[in-house]
Amino acid sequence: MKILGVKIKLKTVMVYITIIAITVLMLLPFAWMLSASLKLNRDVFAFPIVWIPPHPRWQNYIDIWTKIPLALFVYNTSKLTIIVTILQLLTSSFAAYAFAKLHFPYKNLLFLGYIATIAMPWQVYMVPQFLLMREFGLNNTHLALICLQAFNAFGVFLMRQFYMSIPDELCEAARIDGMNEYQIWAKIMLPLSKPALSTLTIFTFVNTWNDFLGPMIYLTRTELKTIQIGLRMFISQYSAEYGLIMAASVVAIIPVLVVFLALQRFFVEGVANSGLKG
């Protein structure tokens, strides 16, 4: 028994050591980014790496706001991210309710056809999309990005999987009480789906905030650009200001970190209940 207990404890210790090692490995790039943001440009790639600069250059965090209109870029990115996230939560949950709880002809076929679009990379159809937005006169506007990202097949799949776990009897009882489908969706399904909504919020917020290719294609005017495009302004024809790039990257990652930490409790529960676990 003692030998068995020792083996179990040793196995547990090895698991924890492995988890800690993987965590440290994953955090190393962020630690290097934070360290590089406090260095002069010539010291960023110095070897061996000096993780804690002897003379931190806090001036980098001041210069990033004056060298480029970073505040404007943060505002543009925040506006796009918030609007797209809200729209995706509404459209995905609404469509998922129909696919999960309503009965209409060819429901499963339509759902499979819609979900099949996940398998098609955006790069395949981004040129036709661009031509379409240009014909609509939406080129070089935030509205183009909002319209293209307001609907998401993955969000519908995620929400439908969660709604499928809610008993149909609950909806039937609400219909008997005189509630219509809109009321059932708003007053019953949405309050019960906080974990799934939180999970979708994290995915959508992170993807929209970090989107580079979309704004790169559709936005050319400086006053419309997002923070990911703005970071390129620290790169000139002959050199790159890596210290400023890292400082701006630290600022750019803060909203994502805040959203994830605020919703992480619901995130784990939402992934488990939505059937996305491995």
Q: CATH number of the domain at 62, please.
A: 1.10.3720.10
Spatial contact of 230 and 75, defined as CB atoms under 8 Å apart: no
Asked whether residue 146 is assigned to any structural domain, the reply reads yes
Tokens, residue 254:
């803060």
pLDDT for res 22: 92
Task: Please state, for a pLDDT cut of 70, what percent of the chain lies above it.
Answer: 91
Asked whether residue 98 is assigned to any structural domain, the reply reads yes
Distance, CA of 260 to CA of 257 (rounded, Å): 5
pLDDT over 90 (residue 167): no
The total number of residues shown for the chain amounts to: 278
91: nearest Cα among 35, 39, 171, 160: 160
Vertex 209: Cα angle to 207 and 214 (nearest 5): 75
- The total domain count for the chain is 1
Asked whether residue 240 is assigned to any structural domain, the reply reads yes
**C-alpha distances in angstroms, 75 versus 15, 92, 225?**
43, 25, 10
Spatial contact of 204 and 151, defined as CB atoms under 8 Å apart: no
pLDDT for res 193: 86
Distance, CA of 8 to CA of 278 (rounded, Å): 25
- Which residues share a beta bridge with 240? 235
Spatial contact of 77 and 227, defined as CB atoms under 8 Å apart: yes
Asked whether residue 44 is assigned to any structural domain, the reply reads no
Name the DSSP letter for residue 221.
Answer: S
pLDDT digits (tens, 9 = 90+) for 83-128: 999 999 999 999 999 998 888 888 888 888 888 888 888 888 888 8
Name the residue type at position 262.
Answer: A
Asked whether residue 51 is assigned to any structural domain, the reply reads no
Task: Please state, for a pLDDT cut of 90, what percent of the chain lies above it.
Answer: 16
Widest CA span in the chain: 75
- Could you identify the residue written with the tokens 């709604």? 163
Neighbours of 170 (CB within 10 A): 13
Domain containing 207 equals: 58-273
pLDDT for res 46: 79
pLDDT for res 86: 94
- Could you identify the residue written with the tokens 């060819």? 106
Asked whether residue 158 is assigned to any structural domain, the reply reads yes
pTM of the full predicted structure? 0.84
pLDDT digits (tens, 9 = 90+) for 4-54: 556 667 778 888 889 999 988 988 888 888 888 888 888 888 788 888 888
Asked whether residue 47 is assigned to any structural domain, the reply reads no
Asked whether residue 234 is assigned to any structural domain, the reply reads yes
Distance, CA of 118 to CA of 228 (rounded, Å): 24
Provide DSSP, 36-64.
Answer: HTTS-GGGTT-SS--SS-SS--TTHHHHH
